[in-house]
């Protein structure tokens, strides 16, 4: 091997070594410092009753990049649409280099219907906002509706448009009175029956259910532990209660 060839080879290796050093100094080291300094260590999640903090983070953190505070913030603030059941949107606040605050805005759901093994959840306007096999315990299941059309993100078309006003009035009062209602059932005359666990209440057909649900709340408190069927359809205020007979 000639001296000239060795000098050229050493020169190439030297230039290559210098380039590697420059890449390390000007690119790799800053990236390492950035990733190390901005580790996502502290996260606070508020505004959700359906998910705990760990469940939210399982949905959002999918790679090592997501564990960097700045990259995580930029990803969900500007680039990524979040698709988590029952969540409308989230807002993100970059508190410091290691901390992010997340505010969750849940979908406004008032009831659900069962269709082909799934539960379709709708808002106060009757818009189907979610479809899942999961039944939420705090959302009443509405029975007795006849569907004209069922399409996600569109209005649930039923036999009478006014039924949604009735459902909205019922669910508002149920929430206000803190009633544990499993199902709301409409019969052929659009009379309302409620299944409240041990108590089955026949409310009839009314323009407003505010007063009758207030009375039902008192009855439930007094009848704690008893299985009753209560007929509250009479306008006289006299209600008929009888023990529920278990089905064979």
Query: Residue 200 is encoded by which pair of tokens?
Result: 């089955």
Contact predicate 113/156, CB 8 Å: yes
| Residue range 193-222, pLDDT digits in tens | 999 988 999 999 988 899 999 999 988 888
pLDDT at residue 182, as a whole number: 94
Asked if residue 141 has pLDDT above 90, the reply is yes
Asked if residue 23 has pLDDT above 70, the reply is no
Mean pLDDT across the stretch 123-147?
89
187 pLDDT tier (thresholds 50, 70, 90) = very high
Query: Residue 107 is encoded by which pair of tokens?
Result: 């979908």
What's the pTM? Answer: 0.73
Rounded Cα gap, residues 215 and 54, in angstroms? 40
How far, in Å, are 8, 18, 244 from residue 5 at the CA level? 5, 20, 102
Among 21-25, 56-60, 190-194, name the one with the lowest average pLDDT: 21-25
110 φ, ψ to 5°? Answer: -115, -20
Tell me the CATH architecture of domain 111-243: 3-Layer(aba) Sandwich (3.40)
pLDDT at residue 77, as a whole number: 87
Percent of the chain topping pLDDT 70: 82
């Amino acid at each position: 091997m000639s001296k000239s060839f060795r000098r050229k080879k050493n020169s190439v290796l030297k230039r290559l070594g210098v380039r590697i050093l420059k890449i390390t100094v000007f690119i790799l080291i800053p990236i390492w410092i950035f990733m190390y300094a901005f580790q996502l260590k502290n996260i606070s999640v508020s505004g959700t009753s359906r998910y705990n903090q760990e469940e939210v983070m399982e949905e959002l953190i999918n790679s090592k990049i997501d564990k960097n505070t700045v990259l995580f913030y930029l990803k969900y603030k500007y680039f990524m649409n979040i698709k988590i059941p029952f969540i409308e949107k989230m807002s993100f606040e970059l508190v410091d280099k290691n901390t992010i605050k997340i505010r969750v805005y849940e979908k406004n759901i008032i009831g659900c219907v069962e269709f082909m093994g799934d539960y379709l959840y709708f808002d106060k306007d009757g818009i189907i906002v979610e479809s899942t096999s999961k039944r939420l315990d705090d959302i009443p299941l509405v029975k007795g509706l006849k569907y004209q059309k069922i399409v996600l993100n569109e209005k649930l078309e039923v036999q009478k448009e006014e039924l949604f006003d009735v459902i909205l009035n019922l669910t508002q009062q149920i929430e206000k009175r803190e009633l544990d209602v499993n199902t709301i059932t409409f019969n052929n005359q659009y009379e309302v029956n409620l299944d409240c666990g041990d108590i089955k209440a026949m409310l009839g057909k009314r323009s407003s259910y505010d007063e009758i649900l207030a009375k039902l709340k008192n009855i439930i408190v007094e009848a704690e532990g008893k299985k009753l069927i209560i007929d509250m359809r009479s306008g006289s205020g006299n209600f008929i209660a009888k023990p529920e007979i278990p089905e064979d």
